[in-house]
Structure 1
Amino acid sequence: MAMSETNFTGASSEYGTLPVLKEERQLGLFDHSLVNIGIAVATWAFLLGGTTAMFVGAWDGIAAIIIGNIIGVSIVSVSVCLGTSKYGVEQFTFARSVFGRVGVLLLVCIFLAIYGVGWSSVLSIMFGRAISEVTNSTMATGIGPNDIGVTWLAMVAIVVSWVLLWKGPTAVKWLNRIVGPGKLILCAGILLLLFGEKSWSTIAAAPALQPFDDPKTNFMVAVEINLAASFGWWPILGNISRFTKTPRAALWPNLVGIFAAAVVGETIGLLAALSLGNFDPTAWMIPLGGAVIGCSVLLFIGLANITAIVSIFYGMCLAMRQAGGRYFENIPWGILTGALFIPVIVVSFFPAQVYDKFFVFLAWTALGFAPLSGVTAVDYILLRRGRVNTRDLYSDAPEGDYAFWGGVNWIAFVALFVGGIVYYALFNPMSLTAHNALFNWISASVPSCLVAGLVHYVLTKRFLRGSRTGGYPA
C-alpha cells in the first residue's frame, strides 16, 4: 500500500525484524502526509460514508464523520506512532513492552486476524459486486448482489492479491502509482456527477436510509461507526511511522492525511448514498455515470480493492512473523500468506451477512481496538515516559524487561477485558442498540478507551512500578 511507494532499503524494511536505521528513514512531514492521504482516500471511505447515511442525513452525517475521525485518529496516532518513530521498531515487536513476548502473539492472532480477515473479506466482496455490475451491464449476466457469482469474483480478487503479496510489497508499486492519484480523481468525478444530477438542497434534505426512532441514538450510532473506523487504524499507522525521520513527522501527518482525507472520502460516500438511496458504492456508479463511465469506475474500484487487500495482509503477515518469532519465522512467505487467505475465502461465501452488515463488523472492531489504543497510549506515555529497552524487545530471556509472567503481561489483558466490558455495557455491537442512556452522550468507544487506559495505569502502578518485572521506571 503506502510503504511500497517509497524505496525503502535494508533487511529491516521489508521482511526483517530489526529496527529501521536513521539512514533508512525517508518520510518527512510532507511525504508522510501524502502516504496517509493515499491510504485514507480509499474505496472503504465511500462505504463508511454510505454506512453513516443509514442513520443520519447530510448535516448530522458530516458532523458525525468529523467528530468520530478527529477523536479516534488523534488517540491512535499518539498510541502507536510516537514510539515506533522514535525507535524505528515494527509496531507489534514494540507492543512486547506492553503485552509481553508471548502476549503480543496472542494479540496478533486474535485482534489482527479478525481485523485482516474482516476487512479483506469486505473488500473482496466489494470487488465481486463491482465486477458483477460491469458484467451485468456489458454482458447481461444478471448476477445479484448476494449471488454465488459475487463469491467467485471475490475469489479472483483473493487469488490475485495472494500472488502479488507473495512477490513482496514492491510487486504493487506500479499499481499504487495508478491507484493513488486515481482515487483523488474518482472523488472529484463522483462529486461532479452527483451535483450534476441533484442540488445541495435536495441532497441535504434527503432522509437517512434506515434510521432508528430516536434521533439522538441515530446521531451517536453514526459517531460510533466513525470512531470504530478511526480506531481501526491502530494496526497500520505504527508500521508506516517507523519510516519517518522525526516524531513530528510521525504524528501530524495523521491529522493532515488520515483525518482530512478520510473525512473527504466519507463525506462523498455519505452524499452519494443519500442521493441514490443505497449505501453500497458499487450500486452508484452506473446510475451516476452511465454504462461506459460507470463500468470504467467500477473496474478501477476493483483494482483499488486488490491493492488495499495486499496492503492489509502485508502488515498482518509481517506482524505475525515478527511477533511469533520462532513459531512463524521458518514458514515460507508464500505458504504463510496463502494460509491466512483461507478464512477470507470461507467468509466470501456469505456476502449478505458480511458486506450488508458492515456496520456490525465495525462496531465489533471498536470493542477491541478502542481499549487497545487506551492501554498502549497510557503504557508508553504515562508509565514508561517515552522510554523502552530496545534490546529487550528482541529478547526471549526469562529475565528480560518484557518477560512479565511467562511472557504475558496479564495486567494489560485485564485492562483490555474491562474496556471491552465497558463498551458492551453501553452499546450492543450486534444490534447497534444502546444498553445505557449514557451512550447517547459519550458513545461507547471513548469511555472504553479511557477506562482501559485507567485500569492499566492503576494496576501497573500498584503491582509493577519500580519492580524488575516489566521494566517500568521507579
Structure 2
Amino acid sequence: MANAPKYTGASAAFGTLPVLKEERELGFWDHTWINVGLAVATWAFLIGGSTALVVGAHDGLYAIIIGNVISISIMAVSVCLAPGKYGIEHYTILRSIFGALGVVLLVACLLVVFGIGWSSVLSIMFGRALSTVVNGMTGAQIGDNDFPVTAFAVLSIFISWLLLWKGPTAVKWLNRIVGPGKIILCVGLIFLIFGTKTWEEINTAPPLAPFADPRVNFMIAVEFNLAAGFGYWPVLGNIARFTRTPRAALWPNMLGVFAAAVIGEVVGLFAALSLGSYDPTAWMIPLGGVIAGTVALLFIGIANITAMVSIFYGICLAMRQAGGKYFESIPWGFLTGALFVPVAVISFFPGQVYDNFFIFVAWTAVAFAPLSGVAFVDYLILRKGRINARSLFCDDKNSEYRFWGGVNPISFLSLIGGALVYWALFNPQTLDAHGPFIWISASIPACIVAGLLHYVLTKAVAIPSGRGGYPPSR
C-alpha cells in the first residue's frame, strides 16, 4: 500500500470519496451557522406568509411549530447520521437502499427536478428583493415580473456558481457572519412589526385567503410546514459528512434548521397578517424604511445564495455518484455551471414560479416525506446503523448492495405507496383535502406507510433471498 494514491480533502469534497476524520472542517457551531443560513432564506419568510393565507396568528404559530418539529426531526435523523458517521457522500450511501442503478433513477426523476425548482424560486426571490431595493433607493417602478427581476436572478445564479466552484466550505466563513446577522434581522423585524401593530391587532387579523372549513385551514397550514421541513432532505446529508462528531452532525439541524426556520416563518406569518401580503419582498421597506429595509433585503439575498450553493453541491455530487466515471471526469466548474443553466432559463418566467410557490412546496412533500420514512427505517431499524462502506463503492455483482440488477424495487414500491397515500389524502396541485386529512395530515401518513412497506417487503423478500446485505432475521 506504500504506492497507493493519497486522496486529499479536495478529492472527497468535489467527488464521492469518503472524507477522512482529519479532513472534516465543520464543528458544532460551524454546522449550526451553515444551517441557519440555509433555513433563514427567503423561503422561510415565504412559507410563513403562505401559512397566513389560511390561518391567523394563533393557529399559525401552532402550525409552524408542529409541522417543523415533526418533519425536521424525522428528516435529520434519516439523512444526517450515516454521512456524519462514515464521512461518505449522501447519495453514495443511498446505494444501500436503492442500489447503484436505482440511485441513478432517483437522481434523474426527483432530485435534479426539485433542486432546480428550489433554486429557481430562490433566484427569483433574490431578483425581486434587489428590484425592491432599487425601487426604494431610486424611485424606479420595476414590477414584480419585469426584466430587471430576471437580470438580478441571473446575477445570483452566477455568484452561487462562483462560490460552489470553490467547494463545500466556501461559505463557512460567510455563514459565521451572515447566520447570526439573519437571526438579528428576524428579531429586528419582530420589533418593527410590533412597533406598528399591537398583538391584539395581529392576532385578530383574518387569514388572507382561507377555505370555508377552519379545520382544513389549520391542517393545510401544518402540511405546508411539514412539507417545508421534509424539503431539506436533499441538502443536509452532504453538509453533515464534513462534521467532526455525530453530535455536530445531528443536533445543529434542530438549532440551525428547526429553530431558525421557525423564527423566520413566524416573522413571515406576522408580517403577512400585518401588511396583507404573503410576499416577503414587499414587507421590508414599508416596515423598516429605505435604509433598514434595504439592509434586510440584502441579507435575504445573501441567504438565498448560500442556500443555492448548498442545494447544488448535493445535486452535483449525486450526479457524479450516479454517473460513475463519466461524470467524475467532468471538471467541477463545468458540471456545476451546466446545472445552473436551466435555473437561469426558468428565471425568465418569475411570475409563474413565484406565485405558485405554495403548490411547489406541497409537491416536495409527495417525494421527500416517503423518502425520509424509507431512509429512516432502512438505516436505523433494518441495518441497526451499520453500512458496509466498501460495498458502496463496488459496482460489480459482488456488492452487497446490488439487489436485483443494481436496483432495489422494494424501496421504489415503498416510495410509490407513500406517494399514493399522500395523494389520497391531499391533492398538492389543487389543495383539495380528503378523508382523515384534517386529523392526520398527508405527509406523516405518507412517511409512515412508506417506511412500513419498506420494512415488511424487505423482511419478506430481500432478507430471505440474501440481497441487500441486511443482517439476517433472528
Q: Give the TM bin, normalised by the shorter chain.
A: over 0.9
- The one-letter amino acid of 2:421's match is V
Equivalent residues of 1:56, 1:207 under 8 A apart: yes
Question: Measured at CA, do residues 296 and 249 of structure 1 come closer, stay the same or move farther in structure 2, by a change above 3 Å?
Answer: closer
Task: Please state whether the residue corresponding to 1:212 is helix, strand or coil.
Answer: coil
Matched residue, 1:3: none
- The one-letter amino acid of 1:425's match is A
Matched residue, 1:52: 51
Matched residue, 1:357: 356
CA distance in 1, matches of 2:343, 2:275: 30
Q: What are the residue-to-residue correspondences of 1:178-327 with 2, within 5 Å?
A: 178-327=177-326
Q: How many Å apart are 1:192 and its aligned residue?
A: 1.6
Equivalent residues of 2:42, 2:125 under 8 A apart: no
Q: What are the residue-to-residue correspondences of 1:30-429 with 2, within 5 Å?
A: 30-429=29-428
- The one-letter amino acid of 1:159's match is F
After superposition, what is the alpha-carbon deviation per residue over 1:60-107, rounded to whole angstroms, capped at 9, x for unaligned?
001000110111011112211222222221111111000001111221
- The more displaced of 270-279 and 244-253 is 244-253
| Structure 1 residue 431 corresponds to structure 2 residue 430 | yes
CA distance in 1, matches of 2:243, 2:209: 43
Q: How many Å apart are 1:178 and its aligned residue?
A: 3.7
CA distance in 2, matches of 1:98, 1:170: 28
Q: How many Å apart are 1:28 and its aligned residue?
A: 4.8
Q: How many Å apart are 1:258 and its aligned residue?
A: 1.8
- The one-letter amino acid of 2:67's match is G
Equivalent residues of 2:223, 2:443 under 8 A apart: yes
Q: 1:473 aligns with which of 446, 464, 471?
A: 471
Question: Measured at CA, do residues 131 and 249 of structure 1 come closer, stay the same or move farther in structure 2, by a change above 3 Å?
Answer: closer
Equivalent residues of 1:41, 1:262 under 8 A apart: yes
- The one-letter amino acid of 1:429's match is P
Question: Measured at CA, do residues 172 and 26 of structure 1 come closer, stay the same or move farther in structure 2, by a change above 3 Å?
Answer: closer
- The more displaced of 420-429 and 457-466 is 457-466
Overall identity of the aligned pairs, in %: 66
- The more displaced of 206-215 and 256-265 is 256-265
Equivalent residues of 2:34, 2:175 under 8 A apart: no
Task: Please state whether the residue corresponding to 2:403 is helix, strand or coil.
Answer: coil
Q: How many Å apart are 1:30 and its aligned residue?
A: 4.9
CA distance in 2, matches of 1:131, 1:115: 24
Q: May I ask how many residue pairs the two structures share in their alignment?
A: 465
Matched residue, 1:454: 452
Task: Please state whether the residue corresponding to 1:433 is helix, strand or coil.
Answer: coil
- The more displaced of 415-424 and 154-163 is 154-163
Q: 1:464 aligns with which of 445, 462, 465?
A: 462
- The more displaced of 299-308 and 438-447 is 299-308
Equivalent residues of 2:378, 2:455 under 8 A apart: yes
In the alignment, structure 1 segments of 5+ residues that lack a partner are: 1-8
State the Cα RMSD in Å: 1.8
Task: Please state whether the residue corresponding to 1:89 is helix, strand or coil.
Answer: coil
- The one-letter amino acid of 2:196's match is E
TM-score in terms of structure 1 length? 0.94
Equivalent residues of 1:46, 1:268 under 8 A apart: yes
Question: Measured at CA, do residues 26 and 137 of structure 1 come closer, stay the same or move farther in structure 2, by a change above 3 Å?
Answer: closer
